[in-house]
Amino acid sequence: MNLLTLMSQASTAAEAEPAGILSILTMVVPLALMVLIFWLFIIRPEKKRNKEMQNMLESLQVADEVVTNGGIIGRVLSVQKDTVLIETGSDRTKIRVVKSAIARCNTEHENAAPAVEAKKSKGKTEIK
Note whether 79 and 96 are same-domain residues: yes
42-94 pLDDT, tens per residue?
A: 999 999 999 999 999 999 999 999 999 999 999 999 999 999 999 998 898 99
Q: Which domain holds residue 93?
A: 61-107
- Does residue 116 sit within a domain? no
Say whether pTM exceeds 0.95.
no
Note whether 7 and 51 are same-domain residues: yes
Note whether 51 and 98 are same-domain residues: no
Q: Is 101:68 a contact under the CB 8 Å cutoff?
A: yes
- Does residue 124 sit within a domain? no
User: Could you tell me the CATH number of the domain that includes residue 67?
Assistant: 2.30.30.60
Total domain count for the chain?
A: 2
- Does residue 127 sit within a domain? no
Note whether 39 and 75 are same-domain residues: no
Note whether 19 and 37 are same-domain residues: yes
- Does residue 115 sit within a domain? no
13-50 pLDDT, tens per residue?
A: 555 456 678 888 888 999 999 999 999 999 999 999 99
Written as one string, the DSSP assignment of 3-56 is HHHHHHHHHHHHHHHHHHHHHHHHHHHHHHHHHHHHIIIIIHHHHHHHHHHHHH
Note whether 55 and 65 are same-domain residues: no
Note whether 24 and 49 are same-domain residues: yes
